[in-house]
Structure 1
Amino acid sequence: MDSARADADVYVVEPLLPQRLRRPSDLLRLLATLLTLGAVILLALVAKQTLYGLEMDVTEGTTLVPLLSRTATFVGGAAVLIVPVAFAVERVFHRDGLRVAEGLIAAIIGMVGSFLIGQWLLAGHVDDLTQLLTGGRSIEPLNTLLISVIAYTTAVRISRRPTWRALMWTVIALDILALYSGRQITLPGAIVAVLVGMVMGYATLYGVGSPNTRPPGNAVVAALRKLSFSPVSARRIDDDHQGSRRYAVGLADGTTLDVTVLDRDRQVAGLPYRLWRRFRLHSETRRRAIRSLRAELEREALMAYAAQAAGASTPRLIGTSEIGTEAALLAYEHIDTRPLDEVPDAEITDDVLAQIWEQVSLLQIQRLAHRRLTGDGIHLDPAGRVVLTDARSGEIAAGDLLLRLDIAQLLTYLALRVGAERSVGSAAAIMGSDTLATAMPLLQRIALTRETRSALAKQKSLLAAIREQIVALKPQGTIEEIRLERFKPRTLVTIIVSTLAAYFLLSQLSRVDVIQVVTTANWGWSGVALVASFVSFWAAALMLRGFVPEALPLWRTVLVQFAASFVKLVAPAAVGGVAINTRYLQKRGISPGLAVTSVGASQFIMMVFHIALLLLFAYITGSNTATTFTPSRGLVVVMLAVALLIVVLFGVPPLRRMITSRTHRLFSNVLPRLLDVLQSPRKLIEGSIGTLMITIAFVICLYACVQAFGGTIDFTTVAVVYLTANAIGSAAPTPGGLGAVEYALTLGLTVAGVPAELATSAVLLHRLLTFWLPVLPGWAAFTYLQRNEAL
């Protein structure tokens, strides 16, 4: 600790402020520039031909206006060095040479880094990117001088000086035009060079840090004096949950102020998390994720005044002020309290619970949402009275959703401390059972604060217990379902994996002519493959009928299987069919529990048949074709990798629990359902035949597709390849196993000895017949079944 002397002999007790800070804003700019750079490179690689045509047009245009090109060469080439030097001289005269030094460090890093990256590209590691950046000419992939200048410009924060900024970027643009007209740089190379230079500049700024411009404690005291306060002492206390500085300031009249300081460089702290929550959740709030210092000051002050006007017990705001251009303060009347987190559970009496809900009720009457009803936002004074703090998180004129979110959050937090029964009982006594019923759909983990979600990890059944208590209070109430989550992380993973799968398919399609694949295939074998594909839908209907004791019409069940093929376009392969079949059985009057167990039983038996057939065909293949189908080194590596993956999945406890819980939900109560089926031998035979025919039909389809292009491969080998690839596709999170199935089938056929181009053509034809072609009849079946209320 150190003491810094302020005006009028007021000492501020606070730690020495660091001379340099790593600003979160610099890190965010670095990450944003890196993302932009990646997007530009990907877009340029995709639109190579368009960029080449644009470059030719611009080059031709510069030749038609030679004066412009020569002017740019003369002005830009010299000014791009003169302007940075002039700015450096100006900064040195203003005793800001440290900023110039940071710029020089960035320029050196930019020059060395761009040179090393350029040499790596010229070594042939990424030929497509090198061709894009050089245009096939003997030039630098990344212009080292241009990148150095931009890195310098970024690191010296020239963007804060409007005149210098306009001048600097003008000469950079002229230099790029000169390099471009002289064929010393390509259009993609110029854009990438600018972004790489900015990356180097921001990386330098964040790496070496920036001078600390936060006003010290004596500046806070001086600002308070301007508000007509008479400070006599000041000391730094713990920062709040958002990282803002706080001071306890003693006044001449013996009272104390609690001062919160908002620093400009902290305004972007926590931005990625706020953006993630805003993007992922449905919410009525219109609060901006990035707020200016002035907006943050006004927001907290307005919420504090609104809470006081509502009659709520909150610290009284008695002054606000800016502290120069880098900070602002809010001065609150000091109340001697302790947060509820520090209060033992035994001291949280029914009276305290009632007071908490009374305070929240006062806020809700005035449409004020607190947004942080946790143990550090609720305090108790020495007399046991409740005080609400942390007004800056709140919302005025809040909508119904935000008000109900407050109730759900407080219900959960108090239940963690005193139990679900007391939490709900105290809330019902003040808020009423109707209000609690409206908040019940919001009792979801995603709706709660980060601290509350972490605490719930140890009491996973607590939310269900709270719901039970509310239902007991109002059993006849209709519960409106509310979806807060726009998407789950699993959805995001599916989108990413689907994008990668689409990229793989496009790369595969670029190697073959799809029209040629269809026109050159043997029509006889193609017809066999088409028939086998459509037989699989009939077989799937038999399988479902066999594991449902109740009678199901055959042709309508076949239509349901076609509808499932349409749903596979938007759902993983193992999910779409299960969901459609379960829904179909429910519409047939079968209870949801029995419908799920019936589909689960069919899936379980299909898995057993799948493994048995894989072992059978693998044995036949190994015994009959050992001389022609010897596993290659690549296949051995793949098999070892699959074995390692299985060991990891079942060896790591969290992954094992996730898998077992998922499979348990799908296959629970399967055995009783199978016993029901065993009582009808006809049903058992029908289900077994359907299960067996599904696999055989798909194997015949793939075998016929290989034969359609003149391939020579055993039927049993094709069966092994298909069964293995189908298992991979079922596990893939992409719609219909897109990408994973194609890659696995192509790899398997190639390892089995089929030429790569022939294997690719056969797989594309197979997927066309089994995945893409049934989509249109599947859509028609889906529409028909919905119209007739069968789905």
Structure 2
Amino acid sequence: MAEINEHEDAEGSPERSPSAAGARAEPDVYVVEPLLPQRLRRPSDLLRLLATLAALGAVILLALVAKQTLYGLERDVTEGTTLVPLLSRIATFIGGAAVLIVPVAFAVERVFHRDGLRVAEGLIAAIIGMVGAFLTGQWLLAGNADDLSQLLTGGRSIEPLNTLLTSVLAYTTAVRVSRRPTWRALMWTVIALYILALYSGRQITLPGAIVTVLVGMAIGYATLYGIGSPNTRPPGNAVVAALRKLSFAPVSARRIEDDHQGSRRYSVGLADGARIDVTVLDRDRQVAGLPYRLWRRFRLSTETRRRAIRSLRAELEREALMAYAAQAAGASTPRLLGTSEIGTEAALLAYEHIDTRPLDEVPTEEIDDDILHQIWEQVSLLQIQRLAHRRLTGEGIHLDKAGRVVLTDARSGEIAAGDLLLRLDIAQLLVYLSLRVGAERSVRAANAVMGTESLAAAMPLLQRIALTRETRSALAKDKNLLGVIREQIVALEPEVKVEEMRLERFRPRTLVTIIASTLAAYFLLSQLSQVNLVQVVVQANWAWSVLALVASFVSFVAAAVMLRGFVPYPLPLWRTTLVQFAASFVKLVAPAAVGGVAINTRYLQKRGIAPALAVASVGASQLVMLAFHIGLLLLFAYITGSNTASTFTPSRGLVVALLAVALLVVVLLGVPPLRRLVTRRMKRLFSNVLPRLLDVLQSPRKLIEGSIGTLMITLTFVLCLYACVHAFNWEIGFTTVAVVYLTANAIGSAAPTPGGLGAVELSLTAGLTVAGVPAELATSAVLLYRLLTFWLPVLPGWAAFTYLQRHEAL
């Protein structure tokens, strides 16, 4: 055994050993590293398991929806097999025999190659598959999940999940037949013949066959991940042997901390006293972090061309190419000395060793302006050659003993990068350095090297979503930092024009909106299936319908009057009314409480009103509308109650509602994060909206105009719903309709769906039904109401939106 040596002097390039021809045998090198585990759980097995379960769920849902189609297809196939009985018998004979013979033959072949452990894993999966299929079948046949049982059995006395097929597929998956092309093709041919034989003999249904295949595969992957797979990662001595093939002469090696992607790293001492750093790419680590990469790729609209899943060879070539490109650009990076595959399961990259320390470990007081300038100069060299680093953090920026900046960790980088990726690098480095030395010093140093234009181009990308995960976490402690950085850049170039750039394809709230919209569509379709729309329009009393239409139109005028009352400058009534129609068009793609606010704010800004005042005016109108809404709800609720009782006695529902509100207030004020959130929002409200309200109170004419408009909006919508109910010849009190509308409107405003779609219909229908209106009639009235107030204004709203944009009013 060679003695373990530490060679600290790394000046100069490492020399390579003479060629193996005529040279004496190399001594063994003892590698200092923890013992590699004999078995490990591969992330790829877990991902395949999750993908199989997702496919299983999708197949079951689709089959439940298309049951009749599947039954018809099964009858066609059964009739077809009766016409060619010879083919059916051949498939039955071959499939039934081969489905047992082929797995046994594969097991014998593996045992002869001393791979009996893999066969044992397959047998474990087969046993689990057989027992699982049997128990699941018994559970379904016992009367649980009747729809699923009917789907898998077709109402016949057969197994819901074929026990033999499940166990064979679990075995096939667990022994990794997929890695042997010949055996894989033979095995799936046999399985297909066996399924055809079962199907033609009416021993399995088409959904049952697909579900059985997916369940067997899922059990196989679950077994592999549960018990683990033999560790095929090459140990340290294999790394040393690969280095010798590259003509290096290693005399010592020790494992050091893994990089951020989980790849192994070794520090290797050479015979000439130099050292090299070796990164090992293991095949089983290639899918590590795949869910996060897929999520980021799906969510962000960047110009990156990297694949979420890369082969070992592709990853090796990409990292080597980035290292060579950085060297050619003149950047200070560790020099790549060689690459090599280590068998079929790993590859290595050998870099020159530079004694450095990461910037994260450098005290802030030691980071002077010279270091900041060096960092930006190194980034500038990369940007000139269109190279994006993508990880400009404290772990990717190092300082050597002489105080020179060295860029490392370029594995995530890209060559021939687009403008977006280059600007992302600038934004990331600006934020990281601002976290360390402050926004002023960071921006000043960047401006001295990169120039004001580069900083201005990166300013739209100063968004949390554009930063690395570590920087986003650090930024949580200083949430105002991004705004401070923008202010520093604007101070350098006050006339800079910043174009907004949206990096997110969607936000998490968009998922909520999509789900809510799907549920709303399902509800509407179910309601429409119970009502004849033609009959709704034809049978409705036209006198009441016209009154409802007039009330719907007046509501837009009322909204314009309300807005005029809260704006200190004169607004034309007709154009302001057109803006309200345009807002009805925007409601198709935005929640009810958002579209109108955005359109009105934009309109006021186009009228020359300062953005802060425009936001405050619209916010004040919304706050007053909320106050009117609550007041009218209480008033009409009291009037409705007094009509049916001599004294106002709170109902059980009202008490429950009050208790729920009280509980919500306690939770909001008792949980510190929620309390801070509410306090921050209320502070913004009182700091912007209340001063505008005080201005309105000082102008009686504006106060009256705003109050009349606010009151008219509510009353016209109530009148519209009241007329829609009477259009179907049903008598109901105005105050009762008012309570139903005010309650449903509050729910619709809180719903994330466009225009409160689904939530408003459900709430109005339920409210009218509770008020005594028959369910079918209530649905018809609500559909007529939504037709007049939501769908019908869309076309004039689109025309108004287009007109206002053409005349630069929006």
TM-score normalized with structure 1 length? 0.92
Cα pair distance change 1:523/1:156, threshold 3 Å: farther
- Alpha-carbon offset, residue 119 of structure 1: 4.9
Give the 5 Å matches for 1:5-404.
8-122=27-141, 126-404=145-423
- Give a deviation string over 1:162-221, Cα, whole Å, max 9, x none: 111111111222222223223333333322332222222222222221111111111111
Asked if the contact 1:597–1:668 (Cα under 8 Å) also holds between the matched residues in 2, the reply is no
Most deviating of 417-426 and 218-227: 417-426
**Displacement after TM superposition at 1:663 (Å):** 6.0
CA spacing shift, 1:550–1:523, aligned 2, 3 Å: same
Q: Which residue identity does 2:512 align to in structure 1?
A: V
Q: Partner residue of 1:684?
A: 703
Match of 1:670 among 650, 669, 689: 689
- Computed over aligned residues only, the root mean square deviation of the Cα atoms, in angstroms, reads 3.0
> In the aligned structure 2, how far is the partner of 1:109 from the partner of 1:632?
57
Matches of 1:640 and 1:149, distance apart in 2:
58
Amino acid at match of 2:109: E
Query: Secondary structure of 1:286's partner?
Result: coil
Aligned pair in 2 of structure 1 residues 87, 224: CA closer, same or farther (>3 Å)? same
Q: What residue in structure 2 maps to residue 437 of structure 1? A: 456
**Closer, same or farther: CA 552–322 of 1 in aligned 2, 3 Å:** same
The more displaced of 612-621 and 724-733 is 612-621
Deviation at residue 785 of structure 1 after TM alignment? 2.5
Matches within 5 A, 1:675-714: 675-709=694-728, 711=730, 713-714=732-733
Deviation at 1:759, TM superposition (A): 3.5
Change (3 A) 1:468 1:579: closer
Find out whether 1:732 has 2:751 as its counterpart: yes
Name the residue aligned to 2:7.
Answer: none
Q: What is the distance in 1 between the residues matched to 2:707 and 2:158?
A: 67
1:343, CA displacement in angstroms? 1.0
Partners of 2:755 and 2:359 lie apart in 1 by 51
Partners of 1:140 and 1:688 lie apart in 2 by 71
Q: What is the identity, as a one-letter code, of the residue corresponding to 2:788? A: L
Q: Which moved more, 1:600-609 or 1:685-694?
A: 685-694
- Counterpart CA distance in 2 for 1:106 and 1:750 is 56
Matched, 1:618 2:637: yes
Letter in 2 for 1:155: A
SS of the equivalent of 1:272 reads helix
Offset at residue 533 of structure 1 (A): 2.8
Are residues 787 and 710 of structure 1, via their aligned partners in 2, closer, same or farther at CA, if it must alter by over 3 Å?
same
Letter in 2 for 1:76: G
AA aligned to 1:292 is S
In structure 1, C-alpha distance between the alignment counterparts of 2:277 and 2:658, rounded to whole Å: 65
Q: Which amino acid aligns with 2:28?
A: D
More moved, 20-29 vs 39-48: 39-48
* Aligned-partner Cα distance in 2 for 1:226–1:500: 63
Q: 1:424/1:675 Cα in 2 relative to 1: closer, same or farther (>3 Å)? A: closer
Q: Is 2:514 the partner of 1:514? A: no
Q: Are 1:572 and 1:730, in contact at CA under 8 Å, matched by a contact in 2?
A: yes
Q: Structure 1 stretches of 5 or more lacking a match?
A: none
For the Cα contact (< 8 Å) 1:7–1:222, is it kept in 2? no
One-letter code of the match for 1:535? V
2:710 maps to a residue whose letter is T
Measured in 1, the distance between the counterparts of 2:92 and 2:653 equals 55
Partner of 1:533: 552
With over 3 angstroms needed to count, the CA separation of the structure-2 counterparts of 1:714 and 1:93, relative to structure 1, is farther
> When the two structures are superposed, what TM-score results if normalisation uses the length of structure 2?
0.90
Q: Alpha-carbon deviations, 1:726-772, whole Å to 9, x = none?
A: 11111111111112222223333344444444443333333233222
CA–CA distance in structure 1, aligned partners of residues 339 and 756 of structure 2: 59
The one-letter code matched in structure 2 to 1:213 is T
Partner of 2:491 in structure 1?
472
Name the % identity. 87
CA shift, 1:280, in A, is: 2.0
The offset of 1:124, in angstroms, is: 5.7
1:203-252 CA deviation, whole Å, 9 max, x = no partner? Answer: 22222211111111111111112112222221111101110001111222
Where does 1:500-579 land on structure 2 (aligned, <5 Å)? 500-579=519-598
Secondary structure in structure 2 of the residue aligned to 1:593: helix
1:388-412: per-residue Cα shift (whole Å, max 9, x none)?
Answer: 1112121122222222222222222
CA offsets, 1:20-78, max 9 Å, x none? Answer: 11111111112222222333333334444444444444344333333333332332233
| Distance (Å, rounded) in 1 between the aligned partners of 2:656 and 2:169 | 47
Contact 1:600–1:667 at 8 Å: present in 2 too? no
Relative to structure 1, the CA distance from residue 120 to residue 358 in structure 2 (aligned partners, 3 Å threshold; closer, same or farther) is same
**Aligned counterparts of 1:457 and 1:412: Cα–Cα separation in 2:** 12
Distance 2:499 2:386 in 1: 21
Distance change >3 Å, CA 49–CA 683, structure 1 → 2: farther
- Counterpart contact for 1:631–1:751, Cα < 8 Å: no
Deviation digits for residues 601-649 of structure 1 (CA, Å, limit 9, x no counterpart): 211111001111111222233343369x999999987886676556545
Matched position secondary structure for 2:27: helix
Q: Secondary structure at the match of 2:350?
A: strand
Question: Relative to structure 2, which stretch is displaced further, 530-539 or 312-321?
Answer: 530-539
Is the 1:721–1:748 Cα contact (8 Å) retained in structure 2?
yes
Contact 1:635 1:751 in 2 (8 A): no
1:130/1:617 Cα in 2 relative to 1: closer, same or farther (>3 Å)? Answer: farther
2 CA distance for matches of 1:633 and 1:75?
Answer: 71
- Summarize the Cα distance change of 1:481–1:576 in structure 2 as closer, same or farther, 3 Å threshold: closer
The equivalent residue for 1:748 is 767
CA drift of 1:420 comes to: 1.8
User: What one-letter code is carried by the residue in structure 1 that aligns with 2:91?
Assistant: A
Q: How many residues align?
A: 788
Letter in 1 for 2:80: G
Larger deviation, residues 262-271 vs 722-731:
722-731
Which residue of 518, 526, 534 maps to 1:499? 518
Give 1:480 shift. 3.8
CA spacing shift, 1:553–1:661, aligned 2, 3 Å: same
Shift of 1:661: 4.4
